[in-house]
Amino acid sequence: MSQKITGATAVVKSLIEEGVDIIYGYPGGAIMPVYDAFYHFQDEIKHVLTRHEQGATHMAQGYARASGKVGACIATSGPGATNLITGIADAMIDSTPMVCITGQVTEHLLGTDAFQETDVIGISMPITKWNIQVTRAEDIPGAIAKAFYIAKSGRPGPVLVDITKNAQFGELDWKYEKCTGVRSYVPPVKPTQESVEKAAELLNSAKKPYIIFGQGVLLSGAEKELQTLVEKTGIPAAWTILGLSALPTDHPLNVGMVGMHGNYSPNILTNQCDVLLAIGMRFDDRVTGRLEDYATQAKIIHIDIDSAEIGKNVPTDVAIHGDAKAAMEMLIPLVKENSHKEWLSQFHKLDEEEHAQVINGDLYPEKPGLTMGEVIRRINEATGDDALLVTDVGQHQMVAIRYAKFKRPLSNVTSGGLGTMGFCLPAAIGAKMGAPEREVVAVIGDAGFQMTLQELGTILQTGVAVKIVILNNEFLGMVRQWQQLFFDRRYASTEMINPDFITIASGYGVKGEKVTERGDLDAAVKRLIDSKESYLLEVLVEKEGNVFPMIPQGASVAEVRLK
């Protein structure tokens, strides 16, 4: 016998059917029936009340990136829905699986400029994998099932389901069927044998082969396959920002980060390799520098699940369209065991230059002021290189990602493609809830912290234990660096007059301390990590410290600067 339920109840039951255990959101008039339904299912699904809807999206992102599951968030119509937009755009460009539920005015009011009516479908269309407006109760389960399937299949991404208020109040016969396919949408899984064989031929004959891996390795769960491929072939492997932690940072064939603030050797030698295998990365402009001079001497093999990325920026010699895990499973038996010691030694030689000119001074400074690099080094030591690191956007992000040490995957959560300041604090809350057994450390700049610091209220209400480190240089640091290097030190609107962060945190019940001297840093970091509750450590670092290496905008990767 069928069970009659409301559309609002169907929303909650559908989420439960999809395995959602936590949803982040903020109530309001147009979504109130769903919130009333949440009240009756508190033992089956936890709702986390954020302090801003943008915070809900970033928490859902952090949860997804740390757990490997689909993140979920919910908001009301109008400003509630539009406040989700930044996080949705961030999730889209960083391929984060997320389902967003928004309330909408009653169907007969659509298009009338009713109170808190906004066309969130039109607004979100360019930044979602799929979106839909539901106006009938009976269509809710199917829409949500399809949303979860699309969000997590193929190249993951955000999906939005907008539900009118009359659909929430309406009734339906409850039945739920998970979506297993969508007509005309068939995400590729297995690449063609021909393409993989061509790739193997190129790799087997290469004298200077090179691998750059991105987040696609993590999204496909292909970390073991990557390590097997690298070790069998002896090919040096570098990572993009979002690929970090797919291969242990101390692996002898892990040669570091590519890109604008990446390591010296992987950038320089990109333009000297003869075969470049790109796995699950999209040749972003911050990785390639000046495109016309990028790896023009190399044969390019590109593995990607999104055909639109293959050949989009860098011409491809061998296109392997499919899942990264499936592609490497097919490739590994075809490649020969090899060792490229002479080629690898070129990376090591350039590494020595970077250590002498940049890294040693960052990690073990002899000057009076504290550096961001030495703070990250102390965090590595205090956590045994096993923290889950969440970063905001700016200088501190580049420094933290350059110097973080990771033993296991899904340890790096950051805003890559969109570069969203304010991402870190809410994302760290979501990451801790997605991986409660991990030590989650949020590294934030003084400017980015002030964009979403209200989410300290979410920490107060939930009791989640996030370790917050503010690297305070009293500047919009990355913009200031560009102003110094390219605008003759005209520091226009980049110096920050900051509040007392420790007092603010204490108002939210979060203990903390401020460090200004090197001699106090070790003990403070220990108190941070040893705390069983959330803790805030503010470290006053040098005001005009710069992040090097650096590829100036418009320059080639071979023109990377060490100073």
Q: Which sequence positions are flagged as catalytic?
A: 53, 115-116, 165, 478
Handedness of CA 284, 286, 288, 290 (dihedral sign): positive
From residue 87, alpha-carbon distances to 26, 72, 341, 418, 450 in Å are: 14, 12, 44, 9, 17
What are the helix (H) ranges across 209-333? Answer: 215-219, 223-233, 264-268, 285-288, 324-331
How many CB atoms are closer than 10 A to CB 155? 20
Single-letter amino acid code for the residue at 57 = T
What gap in Å lies between CA 71 and CA 326, rounded to an integer? 25
Tokens representing 171?
Answer: 């009734």
Cα-based angle 430, 244, 531 (whole degrees, multiple of 5) = 45
From residue 562, alpha-carbon distances to 296, 354, 435, 503, 526 in Å are: 23, 7, 37, 39, 32
171-174 vs 3-6, strand pairing mode: antiparallel
What gap in Å lies between CA 164 and CA 30, rounded to an integer? 7
What gap in Å lies between CA 247 and CA 238, rounded to an integer? 9
Phi, psi of 401 (to 5 degrees): -70, -35
**What is the side-by-side strand order in the sheet with 98-104?**
46-49, 22-25, 71-75, 98-104, 158-164, 130-134
Handedness of CA 31, 36, 42, 44 (dihedral sign): negative
N- to C-terminal Cα distance for the chain?
A: 73
Instruction: Find, among 161, 129, 143, the residue nearest to 306 by Cα.
Output: 129
How many CB atoms are closer than 10 A to CB 299? 20
Tokens representing 258?
Answer: 């590519």
Residues paired with residue 23 on neighbouring β-strands, in sequence order: 47
Q: Which helix (H) or strand (E) holds 211?
A: strand 209-213
Does residue 59 contact residue 429 with C-beta atoms inside 8 Å?
Answer: yes
Close Cβ partners of 458 (under 8 Å, ≥ 6 residues apart) = 48, 49, 50, 51, 55, 59, 426, 429, 464
Phi, psi of 202 (to 5 degrees): -65, -45
